[in-house]
Copies of this chain bind each other. A is one copy, B any other.
Amino acid sequence: MNDPAILETLSALPHFHLLEPDLRERLAALSRSRSLRAGEILFHEGEACRGFFAIRRGGIKLYRSTPDGREQVVHNFHGGQTFAEAALLNIGHYPVSAVATESPTELVEIAGEPFLRLLREDARLAPAMVGSLCMRLIALVERVEELSLIHAGSRLARWLLRQPSQAATRGFRIELVLPKKDLAAHLSMTAETLSRLLRRWQDEGLVESERGSLTILEPDRLTSLGEGDPEA
C-alpha cells in the first residue's frame, strides 16, 4: 500500500508535478497500486466512479460497446497519463469502459471521495489541476480538428506530423506505441485503408513504413496533404 513508487508516479503527473511535497504525500496516502494483464477490465461503462487513475506502465483502452457487438474506441492512454478525472469531478459514473492493453499494466488508483475532500480542503490542489486539464483540452481540440478532415490521407498526415519524433538518418522516426490496426481505428479508418495509404506513400518516397515504426521522409509534402485535399 505505502509503495514509494506511488509517490514517484504521482509526482511525474502533469496534474501534480508542481505541487509541494507535503501535498503530494497526502495524495499518495489516499492512493493504491493496481496491476492488470492485457484484456483485464478496469471498469465498465455506467459503473459508479470510485476514483481516477494514473498509468505507471502499460496501456489502457477506453471503449464503448455497441449493441451489435462491435466496440468503439474512445481513447488510448499510456504511461504517465491520467484518466477518468472528469467522471469523478463531474458526473459520478464512468461513461465508458476501460481495459488493459498490455501485460503488465500498472496503475495508481486515486480514491474518489478522499480526493474530493482534499480538493475542497487544500486550496493548492485545484489550481494545479486546472493547468493540466487545459493541456488535455488542447490535445482533444486538435484531435477533433484532425477527425474533421474528410480524406483518410489528410487525417493520417496530420497525425504523423503531430507525433513527437526522434531525428533519424534521413528523416523523423516515429515509434508506434499502438499496433497499426489500433492506429487505424484512432484515425477512423479501416486497417486496410491505412495499409494501402502507407504503401502508396512509401512507393512515392514520402514515408518509410515498418513494423512498429514510421519514418517521415518528406514532411513538407505531408503538411500539404494534411492541409487540404489536393492529394499531391
Contact = CB atoms under 8 A, between A and B. Distances in A.
Range class of the A interface residue count = 35 or more
Interface stretch (A4-12, A69-77, A166-174, A175-183): A69-77
A70 B134 CA distance: 27
Interface of A: prevailing SS: helix
Nearest to A148: B188
A227 B147 contact: no
A75 B127 contact: no
A67 B224 contact: yes
A197 interface: no
Interface in A101-151: 116, 119-120, 123-124, 126-127, 129-138, 140-145, 147-150
Given A70-B228, A126-B123, A126-B126, A144 B134 contact: no
A127 B89 contact: yes
Contacts of A74: 141-142, 144-145, 148
Contact of A135 (B86, B123, B134, B143): B86
A91 interface: yes
Given A130-B126, A188-B148, A86 B137 contact: yes
A135 B75 contact: no
A137 B75 CA distance: 12
A68 B227 contact: yes
